Amino acid sequence: MIDLLRLSRSKGFTPGDQPLYRQIAKLAGLSSDDSDALKSLVDVPCGQGAVAEFFAQSYPVEVAGVDPDPELIEVAERRARDTELTTQLQFQSASVDDLPFQDEVFDLSIGELGLASSTDPFRAVAELCRVTRPSGTVVLIGLIWTGHVDDEQRRILIEHIGAPPQMLVEWKQALREAKVEDLHVEDWSDHAFPFLVRGRTFTHLAELSTLADKLSILQRAWQRWGLRGLRGALSREYEIRKLLGPERTIGVTLITGTKAGAVRAEAQRNE
């Protein structure tokens, strides 16, 4: 599911995305009116750069995007040139659990849903926190288990989504171990990603994109995974719709917190 969404050629947001990212900006203290307070932001994984572009157009920020797929980075860079935002946007292809930045360089770090698809999602969380400045904001958009599933249902859902959801307590523990404090949690399952909890999977793309985009997604998925892989995904449609719909076993949670160490860093500057 996550891979298919990232393959979409759509330049816009899916329903509910913009309110989610405006809420992130609000929680991080970003203001479109405060033009003198230029801040830095990293978006991981950034995909085709839609979120990075949104922040660059809406707020006084410089945005870095990282994604392990070089093809998606090429699309993101092309979009930045087309919108004349190259001075505000920079993109790199790299592993999300080994970010190509020094310690403590960003005011705001955002971990997208795709962060969970990394080889080691908790190491990816630690990396996101490592590159955040003391007193900066760390944001995690996390997939969480919200209902009981047996081992086989769990396997089917993880294979379908392309990333393993975690318990909310596990995401919070990963952030705390990376020295992120004052955690704030919001449930965005119904608002930001209705296709996830209401059973609108990528075999029923009506809510996500135009007809041309649907055809493009299916064509590119065929090229990437072949007929067998595509048919395998379609065969699980009924079970997945039931688990993601009426049984509501997976949700999306927004977790924000503050990187610790501001007092220590201030003391070092005064020495």
Structural domains in the chain (count):
1
Measured distance CA(118)–CA(120) in Å, rounded: 5
pLDDT digits (tens, 9 = 90+) for 99-118: 999 999 999 999 998 888 88
- 55 vs 5, 6, 68, 85, 95, CA distance in Å? 20, 18, 21, 11, 22
Residue 81 lies in a domain: yes
Residue 169: which CATH number? Answer: 3.40.50.150
Residue 18 lies in a domain: yes
Residue 242 lies in a domain: no
Residue 173 lies in a domain: yes
Question: What's the domain range around 122?
Answer: 2-150+161-192+251-260
Residue 20 has pLDDT above 50, yes or no: yes
pLDDT digits (tens, 9 = 90+) for 147-196: 777 887 777 777 767 778 899 999 999 999 999 999 999 998 876 444 44
pTM given for the model: 0.77
Residue 89 lies in a domain: yes
Residue 232 lies in a domain: no
Amino acid at 128: L
Residue 229 lies in a domain: no
